[in-house]
Amino acid sequence: MKYLCQVWFDGAILDAMTKEEKAELDTNSLDYDKDLAESGHMIIAQALQPPKSAVIVRVRNDEMSVTDGPFTETKEALGGFILIEAKDLNEAIRVAAGIPLAKLGAIEVRPIHEFGAK
């Protein structure tokens, strides 16, 4: 099964880190991605730009609107994702627990809905 591991964290935590701490986090994250690829779990991983770079697109009554976004009342924002292959939810959770940013934020693990699958 495929699972999406959404990486949520407070950007202020990263902003408060030293250059060395950020470099170590980046190295640890890239090393873990490599480990996941070697174990056959990795499908794709991507980091996202900060939320302030996002726009929100809505279509209502065939009218499109684009606003700066997202508006969020929480400090945590989606910072990236890793799409993995795992035999079951328990294995996906073990994989998610190894993501270095799990120590600073939260990893939401969600199964992928495969259309046409029974």
- Predicted confidence (pLDDT) at residue 83 exceeds the cutoff of 90: yes
From the list 4, 40, 38, 16, the residue with the least C-alpha distance to 104 is: 16
Q: What is the tens place of the pLDDT at every residue in 97-110?
A: 999 999 999 999 99
* Structural domains of the chain sorted by starting position, each given as residue range(s) with its CATH number in brackets: 2-111 (3.30.70.1060)
pTM: 0.88
List strand residue ranges (DSSP E) for 1-118, in order: 2-10, 42-47, 54-60, 63-69, 76-85, 106-111
Tens digits of residue pLDDT in 13-25? 999 999 999 999 9
- Give 45's pLDDT tier (boundaries 50, 70, 90): very high
